[in-house]
Amino acid sequence: MRKHGLKTAVVLCMDVGLTMSNSAPGEESSFELAKKVIQKFVQRQVFSETKIELALVLFGTDSTDNPLSQDGQYQNIRVHRHLRIPDCELLIEIENQVQPESKEGDWLDALVVCMDLLHTETKGKKYDCLNIALLTDLNTQTNEESLEVIINNLTQSGITMQFFLPFPVEEDKEGQGDSERRDPGHPGTGKGLSREQKKNMELVKEMMLSLDVEDGLDEIHTFRNAIEELCMFKRVERRPVAWPCQLTIGSSLSIRIVGYKAVTDEKPKKMWITVDAQSHQKDDVKRETVYCLDDDNETEVQKDDIIQGFRYGSDIVPFSKVDQEQMKYKHDGKCFAVLGFTKQSAVIHRHQFMGSQILKIFAARDDEHAGVALSALIRALNELQMVAIVRYAYNRTSNPQVGAAFPCIKQDSECLMYVQLPFMEDLRHFTFPSLENKKFTPSDAQLSAVDSLIDSMMLVEEDENGEQRDLFKPHRIPNPAFQRHFQCLHHRAVSPGTPLPPIEPWLKAALDRPEVITERCQDPLDVLKRKFPLTEVEKKKKLKTSAQIFEESEAKKVKEDEAEEYNLANIAEGSVTSVRIRGRQLTHRIEQLLSNKNTQYYMKSITCIQAFREQSVKLANAEHYNSYLQSLKGSIPNRGLEVFWELLVQGMICLFT
């Protein structure tokens, strides 16, 4: 299932028959597990928008619906969906229509139906990969005579097979004796298998070993492993784009290179679009920006009458686009030119890396001479422990950078790694008070407490074989933001109208401290807690941000003095009466409230102003509101209401975001 060629067709073939619903108490049935595998797989395809085509065949169904069914043959097999690109509809169907049924279906028959489906529906088109994934507990009567024909047919048409079973395959390795070896996570293994299952298992093995695949048994998976693996949405993958250029040292030494983005802060592919709440149509919503002069009438200015300018300190300098284009810094375009070489460690600070990416620079493909020349540079830098400082420009229109090219030598490849370095303008030299201060100097006892904490929390350790084991690798964790995003989209697509689900437990666990560490560090943490007294500072008059004050009083507002509130509500909630009257009442009230310089009253005024604003928006008449706010703003300094104004600004912004 993991193969993603250029064009791929996959048939998911799932057993929904009687025995699939069996389960040990407290355990999920095979049916439930298999359904999860299918859901996760389809989910993955839908949200990564691959062009893989998918069909769904069910067997063990009560009804029969397939092109081969005739004269009592190929019964209880239903083609649920023909080969198509998977969509949300399919997710919904799987959620609602794939249910346990009560018949028994022959998995070999079902396989033939799948092969036939692939044959007919891919005819005349080119595919790189044809695949059938069979999910079953193998607990059915099978007509094994056809096995050989099926194997031949699979081989001829180049169809690959994958099996998903409730139990792991037992490899007949030399030591027959350890057939007792069972994975505790997989009940129903070994002795627990029925006669049918054992017999079928042999057939599966025979089939997988005779197909022309390396290590065919590797394509037999258990439900649980598959779910774990599929849980992580396919990571967002992008095709690397080659950037051909020349590395130059001076005027006469150049090496043909090609650069690729190797590491970069990957952003979600799709943005949210704004739609109308009722129709869900984006075309119903339009955003428009108008410009106006900063005068009392807010005189609107046409777009054509607007020119561009820039601030130069206190000055505003008109600077047209044409002039700007003409006078701006220009350069010769794409380049990767060495400015010089410098020592690696002492000078280049890791925390001064800029930009959001790492480029890997290789010699141009199929150019062995460039390969040797670049290799000489990479190895020279590596032996001298130096880096090249280079000027890098992606193309003519992009801004040139200064950066460092580090040598990187791996077993099978050599390259330069380029990272951007700061310009003088980017750096901020802050000074901080020294921590070598008597008040903060930790005692020896305190230092040793930290020491043992570090000991207990080392994430890299050597196992008994002397091999290093890293317990926590962030670069192996899929970006949780994407995982959560797709989880929620899936949920909303399948079950609209219901609240979003909680974060999946596996994801939470992946982001947390490993359990071993949690256990190990408990005692050192307790010691640390005793040794380092930490007390939250109660500020006598804690300077709250206005946003906090706002939030708090928003929360309190409802309960507190409702008597006062009803007044406001009455004034604020007009139906269609003219804004002017409402406005006058409201502004009167605001002025009243503002005569008390007190946060409590400020908050009430702000509520009024918000009500006023909402009214104005509702009735699309902002004139009075805007002019009142203008005059209010003007009067702030005289009335000493700066604190109020700030709260207002914060409050409005809180609302708008």
Partner 1 sequence: CDVWERVSTGILTTESTRSPSSIGDYKITGRDSLVFLVDASKEMFIKGEDGEPSNFDMTMQVVRTVYTSKIISSDKDLVALVFYGTEESKNPRNSFKHVYVYHDLSEPGAKRVQEVDALRGEKGAKLAAETIGSGETSLGDALWCCANLYSDIKLRLSHKRLMIFTCRDEPHGGDSVKDRQARTKASDLKETGVVIDLMHLMKPGGFDISLFFCDIVSPPEDESELGLQLQPSDKLEDLLKRVRAKELKKRALARLNLCLGEGINVAVGIYATAVAARKPGSIKLYRETNEPVRSKTRTFHTQTGSLLLPSEIKKAQYYGGKEIVMERDEVDAIKKFDDPGLFLIGFKPMEKLKLHHHIRPAVFLYPEEDEVKGSSCLFSALLKKCSERNVFALCRFISRRNYPPRFVALLPQNEELDEGKVQITPPGFNVIYLPFADDFRTLDPPQFPSASQTQVDKMKEIVSKLRFKYRSEGFENPVIQQHFRNLEALALDMMAPEEIEDLIMPKVDQIDQRLGPLVQEFKDLVYPAYYNPESKPAAKRKTADTGGGAEKKPKVELTEDELKAHVQNNTLVKLTVPVLKDACKQFGVRTTGTKKQELIDALIARLRS
Rounded to whole angstroms, the Cα distance separating 244 from 335 reads 10
- Identity of the residue, 18 or 88, whose beta carbon is nearer to partner 1 in the bound complex: 88
Distance CA 336, CA 257 (A): 9
Which residue shows structure tokens 């995982």? 483
Q: Which two tokens stand for residue 411?
A: 């077993």
3-state SS of 513-533 is CCHHHHHHCHHHHHHHHHHCC
In angstroms, the CA 246 to CA 333 distance is 12
Contacts of 490 (CB under 8 A, 6+ apart): 43, 46, 47, 91
Q: Provide the minimum distance between the beta carbon of 17 and partner 1 in the complex, in angstroms, as a whole number.
A: 29
Pairing of strands 386-393, 335-343: antiparallel
Residue (of 96, 87, 6, 99) closest to 54 by Cα position: 87
Shortest Å, Cβ 592 to partner 1: 22
CA distance 580 to 325: 49
- Tell me the HSE value of 419 on the side-chain side, using a 13 A CA sphere: 19
CA neighbor of 550 nearest in space, from 509, 589, 603: 603
User: Which residues, at least 6 apart from 350, have a Cβ–Cβ distance to it below 8 Å?
Assistant: none
Distances (CA, A) of 139 to 16, 72, 358, 472: 11, 21, 52, 40
Burial of 601 (0-12, 13-18, 19+ CB in 10 A): middle
Distance, CA of 80 to CA of 56 (rounded, Å): 5
Which CB atom, from 142 or from 627, has the smaller least distance to partner 1? 627
CB 199 within 8 A of CB 477: no
The SS3 call for residue 15 is: strand
DSSP line for 343-402? EHHHH--GGG-EEEEEEEEEEPTT-HHHHHHHHHHHHHHHHHTEEEEEEEESSTTSPPEE
Long-range CB contacts (within 8 A, 24+) of 564-569: 564/604, 568/604, 568/607, 568/608, 568/611
Q: What tokens does 553 get?
A: 């009083």
Whole-number Å distance between alpha carbons of 202 and 212: 18
**Rounded to whole angstroms, what are the CA distances from 460 to 83, 132, 511, 555, 593?**
47, 41, 17, 46, 62
